[in-house]
A = this chain, B = another copy of it.
Amino acid sequence: MTPVTIVGSLAALLTTVAYVPQAYQTIRTRDTSALSLPTFLMLFVGTCLWGTYAVLIHDIPILMTNLISGGLATIILYIKLTAKPGEKRPA
């Protein structure tokens, strides 16, 4: 791996796993008051389109990273849509 490839791979790794702690916190607390619904709707649709694009151009890395980040965005979006207003478990 060249230094350039290492920088790119580390960038992809970080922006892909970034939603793990957000999903964990949202599952644990069910507090979605400060989360923007349009943001998570766009992330959901955007990662679905990235996945479609990856299948169309047969690109496995783009598919894998968007399956992970899209799955995490879907979990957060689902809780945002189903949690009752004001519902919050102790952190």
Binding site for B on A (CB under 8 A): 4, 7-8, 10-15, 17-22, 24-26, 29, 31-40, 42-43, 45-47, 49-50, 52-53, 56-57
B18–A53 contact, CB under 8 A?
no
Contact residue among B7, B11, B45, B56 (Cβ-Cβ distance under 8 Å from A14): B45
Copies of the protein in its oligomer: 2
Given A29-B34, A33-B31, A34-B26, check contact A39 B18 (CB 8 Å). yes
CA distance A20 to B40 in the complex (A): 11
Q: How far is the CA of A81 from the CA of B7 in the complex (A)?
A: 26
The 17 listed contacts between A and B (C-beta, < 8 Å) are A7-B53, A8-B50, A8-B53, A8-B57, A11-B46, A11-B47, A11-B53, A14-B49, A15-B50, A18-B40, A20-B39, A21-B39, A22-B35, A25-B36, A26-B34, A26-B36, A31-B34
